[in-house]
Structure 1
Amino acid sequence: MLTGPIINSVATLAGSIIGATMGNKIPERLRLALPLTFGAASMALGINSVVKVSMLPPVILALLVGSAVGELLKIEKGIEWAAIRVNGPIQKIFPGKKTDEDPQAFLQNFVAVLVLFSASGTGIFGALNEGITHDPTVLISKAMLDFFTSAIFATSLGFIVATTVIPQFIILCGLYLLAGVILPLTTPQLIADFSACGGIIMFVTGFRITGIKKFPIANMLPALLLVMIFSHYWRLLFH
């Protein structure tokens, strides 16, 4: 059963609805301080994944090529365009729940939260792990973090945060169902490099959430599709 993906997605949805409904009832100092904590947590999770890397060169190469592909495809621009289009109808349905951020900050935080929920190394590993072992512990732990993260960001971004549950559920379920096919084709070294690549993306997501630097994290996502291929052939060529 899809225990982990369901619990994680329900937690994100519940947190989003609670946060958007409560809105300004949550003290401003809390709404400002907690995203910094979430950003720091994202950095810590990223570092934890990066230190497990098996071979760094193919990971860096995947990030460079993947980022170039993402820039050419304008993935982040596409997500921002979709967010603006979706937010319009949501504001009409919930006219009293307008976002209190300027448009640029709104888009920056929405993309960061979307990537954090849907493409984090923890989520990807957790879904694959549950697909093989049927142990949902990792995704249940992630669900607790996503619940509070979605609630806090929904206080400023509004009900649109709830829409992130759609790609999150699709990705987690897809990885869960494909785990039996994907993992037998990999090695511990490939998984380590994959986790390291996701860890770097999570690390820079933390920078974005805290407002230190706006990394184009959505444009970096193609690297996750390339890193295992690069890692495999790097070993064939240089070992």
Structure 2
Amino acid sequence: MPIGVIINAASVLLGGAFGAFGGKYLSQKFKDGLNMVFGACSMAMGIYSIAPMKNMAAVIFAVIIGTALGLAIHLGDWINRGAKAMQNFITRFIPTPSDIDQSTFDATLVTVIVLFCASGTGIYGALVEGMNGDATILISKSILDFFTAAIFAANLGYVVALIAIPQFVIFLILFVAAGLIYPLTTPTMILDFKAAGGMLMLATGFRMVQLKMFPTADMIPAMIIVMPLSWLWVTVIAPLL
């Protein structure tokens, strides 16, 4: 049962509705302050996930090679294009708020779609829950997503709440796929996988506080190659050292 996936989608749905309804009562200082706290929470979740890793070299190799691959194939650009197409579909049914210009609305909504549907934290959380049933990451993310959705919805309106639908579909697919992968893994591979996901959460935190804009979307391939690299390190490379 994808409990974490369901809770995460529900948090975006409810947060978006809450923000659209009561966002006009929130000051900009309040919104900015919460965003900084969200970033710190994401960093804390990342550090917590990195700490138990077993093979630092394999994780570092995975993050570097995976990010290089993502940058080479312009994965971030492809994700942004998909978000733009999703945004065009959503806005057919919900018009742009009258107090925001169309270009600003479009750019912000694309950012929100990527944040909720293609974030490293969400992908990592869905895969972890699918592998071992641990919904902790997605539940923790849901707390952040509720307030993040509320803040964005205060400016963009109810359209933010509808992003919960594609988010649920994407994370459910990842959840099912992870269940098929898990029997092929070892405990060491899982811990190294979590550490790679933690690196993405740490980078996401830096982006949220606008300290450094890491290419988090381009870092996603690291989570695909980290487990094979972990296995290779333990079975082939480490015995030779």
Q: TM-score range by the shorter chain?
A: 0.7 to 0.9
Cα deviation per residue 1:152-183 (whole Å; 9 max; x = unaligned)? 23334555544543453234323433454322
Residues 44-123 of structure 1 correspond to what in structure 2 (within 5 A)?
Answer: 44-88=44-88, 90-91=90-91, 93-96=94-97, 106=108, 111-116=114-119, 119=122, 121-123=124-126
Cα deviation per residue 1:8-50 (whole Å; 9 max; x = unaligned)? 2122222123223434332222111111111100000001111
CA distance 1:230–1:24, shift in 2 (3 Å)? same
The CA distance in 2 between the partners of 1:147 and 1:117, in whole Å, is 17
**Runs of at least 5 residues in structure 1 that lack an aligned partner in the other structure:** none
1:68 counterpart letter in structure 2: A
Residues 35-46 of structure 1 correspond to what in structure 2 (within 5 A)?
Answer: 35-46=35-46
Deviant stretches of 4+, over 6 Å: none
Q: Which residue of 1 aligns with 2:129?
A: 126
2:26 counterpart letter in structure 1: I
Q: Which residue of 1 aligns with 2:180?
A: 181
The CA distance in 2 between the partners of 1:117 and 1:167, in whole Å, is 16
Aligned-pair CA distance for 1:112: 4.0
Task: Give the root-mean-square deviation of aligned CA atoms.
Answer: 3.0
Cα deviation per residue 1:72-118 (whole Å; 9 max; x = unaligned)? 22121122233344435545622326658958973556544544486
**Runs of at least 5 residues in structure 2 that lack an aligned partner in the other structure:** none
Residues 1-239 of structure 1 correspond to what in structure 2 (within 5 A)?
Answer: 1-88=1-88, 90-91=90-91, 93-96=94-97, 106=108, 111-116=114-119, 119=122, 121-130=124-133, 139-156=138-155, 158-159=157-158, 161-162=160-161, 164-239=163-238
Worse overlay, 103-112 or 166-175: 103-112
TM (normalized to structure 2)? Answer: 0.81
8 A contact 1:67–1:223 mirrored in 2: yes
1:82 counterpart letter in structure 2: G
The CA distance in 1 between the partners of 2:199 and 2:2, in whole Å, is 27
